[in-house]
Amino acid sequence: MPEVDGKPKDRSKRILTGAQAIVEATEQAMERHPEVFLLGEGAQDPKGIFGTTTGLLERFGPQRVMEMPLAENAFTGMAIGAALMGQRPLVVHQRVEFSLLAMEQLLNNAAKMHYVSGGKHRVPLVIRVVVGRGWGQGPAHSQSLESLFSAVPGLKVVLPSNAADLKGLLLGAIEDDNPVVFIEHRWTHYATGHVPPGYAPLPLDGPRRLREGGDVTVVASSYMTLEALQAANALANQGIGVDLFDLRVARPLQLAEILASVARTGRLLTVDLGSSSFGLGAEIVARAASETFDSLKAAPRRLGLPDHPTPSSRALAEVFYIRSPQIGAAICDLVGAKPELRGQLEEELQAGRDDLPLDIPHPSFKGPF
């Protein structure tokens, strides 16, 4: 995977994978805060939940790295209770679908406790959930449900796209006194990038501009930011300037910088990790239409997964997932590019993907799921 800024790697920089960045963040937080502990199904597994908990059991022992049974509602509730008593639990669900069994705990207890207690209680809890495709896992193990969590007042929702943010935002989430749902696309675990070595929590403060451009504003999140960046880099070579934002934090949703960009470019494309219907992009487009309507030069567009359960077969997945060629084509349509340029761009972006996996995991991934 490329650096998120799209520039060649500086070999003098400290380069980690996203999974290594998560391990380092967890390790540093546990060293600094004795009240931080980790629990989840597979927490003690040698494979380390896609490599994101590797070595933690050996370092901190079973009292702080706790293996859980198949009882998501129970151990999530246990973590909420621990947080209320002053601990800072870090719960890991290997699939976002596993967290659905604990939604009553998350939505009615963790998210509302501070409010219903008049500010007396706080729930400093982090729920790590893994999303993303791989091994044809289909409808029940490949969903992206960030919109579901983002609709709940009292939760914070974070969607990192790169190694530096996977570390920094995880540290910021652990330091936060609110319950935070930390959503990791499993392909970002393999994305490499420069990661500062120290303990440096990042504030959960919203979007970051990755590229500057004057023709169109593009907002993406999590892994889709990497796809959008590939398209933006190719478009720049054709003289089309993309103002590209990595959303990073879905709740609280801070759009001031994005709306200022839309007012300047007059065009907006959102790229959802999950479904475009009822998605994060829908909210962003609604806000843009409401607050920058007079500046719009074209109707805003949304890209996202179709309104259909995730297919298991590779043939169906080929047309299910959004990738850089579709993003590039949508931008060309928005700016009124000539059809031949659109076709050339799609060809170029597709050629760069021919040897990349679509619905299989990264070659270094060895299971267990």
Q: What share of the chain is helix, strand, coil (3-state, %, to 5)?
A: 40, 20, 40
Q: How far apart are CA 339 and CA 332, in angstroms?
A: 8
Q: Report the chain's C-alpha Rg in angstroms.
A: 20
Q: Which of 3, 41, 72, 184 is catalytic?
A: 72
Q: Which of 304, 264, 266 is nearest to 283 (CA)?
A: 304
Q: Which of 3, 41, 141, 185 is catalytic?
A: 141
Q: Which token pair is 55?
A: 């070595």
Active site residue 72: yes
> β-strands 242-246, 208-211: how paired?
antiparallel
Rounding to the nearest 10 degrees, give the CA dihedral for residues 25, 29, 31, 36: -130
Query: Cβ(361)–Cβ(134) under 8 Å?
Result: yes
Active site residue 347: no
Inter-residue long-range contacts of 251-254, CB under 8 Å, 24+ positions, other chains counted: 251/149, 251/150, 251/152, 251/155, 251/156, 251/157, 252/156, 252/204, 252/206, 253/150, 253/206, 253/280, 253/283, 253/284, 254/205, 254/206, 254/207
Residue with the two structure tokens 């070659």: 363
Query: Cβ(181)–Cβ(131) under 8 Å?
Result: no
The two counts, helices (H) then strands (E), for the chain are 15, 14
- The Cα-based distances of 208 to 44, 89, 191, 221 in angstroms read 35, 28, 18, 10
Q: Which token pair is 233?
A: 């880099």
Residue with the two structure tokens 């601990």: 87
Q: Which token pair is 148?
A: 């579901």
- The Cα-based distances of 73 to 19, 93, 102, 109, 190 in angstroms read 26, 11, 4, 12, 30
Active site residues: 72, 141
